[in-house]
Amino acid sequence: MSESYARRPIPRRISVLAALVGLISAIALLTGPPAQAAPPTPVSAATARSYLASLTVRAEGSMSGYSRSLFPHWSAQYGNCNTREVVLERDGTNVVQADNCSAVSGRWYSAFDGATWYAASDVDIDHMVPLAEAWRSGASGWTTSKRKQFANDLTRPQLIAVTDNVNQSKGDKDPAEWMPPRTAYHCLYARMWVHTKYHWNLRVDSAEKSALQSTLNGC
């Protein structure tokens, strides 16, 4: 067998490999975005300080008329996956999902308190700017469609998987009233909060602004 004849199958093997790579890429596009390790990165501390300075400062509005149902969530995202399941996969490690997209196993690190969980039932999806806080800060005047977009915002750092009881302790408090137990996360938390409020053109009250300024100045 000549040397040239022995090398002929190589291009064919390369073609098959290329076809397989293309098939895998196509499947990835159909099944949804790749997993990430964390929420979208917020703006820098310097940019957050600039954003904060531009936000309207006003006393919080009334809770009159508020209902979580006015912020529809969790919305369908792709396939059988809703927003919660997308965030669980994005923020988790080695997440395995059932056919209905529910997370059946994985590992979740809660940046708020430094705890690690191995069951999705121990994890809540926190709205960085809580729905009730948004309502008092301007969202009461939005359409339901816009509130739905806000409640399911995967593009800004508005959603994050955290320990369920820590999320419950936060409730609808702003940074003047509550910050994560893990102090190392405070700077990032403030950047995420301001980034979200700025994008959605939500107001801040004076105590909230002061707390955010203090945190961002220490970043």
Reported confidence tier of residue 38, pLDDT bands at 50, 70, 90? confident
CA distances from 20 to 23, 27, 33, 131 (A): 5, 11, 19, 45
Examine the pLDDT at 51 and tell me if it is beyond 60: yes
Reported confidence tier of residue 37, pLDDT bands at 50, 70, 90? low
Percent of the chain with pLDDT over 90: 83
Positions of E strands within the chain: 76-78, 81-82, 92-97, 103-110, 115-117, 123-127, 159-163
CA distances from 31 to 18, 20, 101, 160 (A): 20, 16, 11, 22
For residue 37, give the 3-state DSSP assignment. coil
Percent of the chain with pLDDT over 70: 83
Single pTM value for the model: 0.83
Examine the pLDDT at 5 and tell me if it is beyond 80: no
Examine the pLDDT at 174 and tell me if it is beyond 80: yes
pLDDT digits (tens, 9 = 90+) for 120-132: 999 999 999 999 9
Name the one residue in this structure whose structure tokens are 């009334």: 62
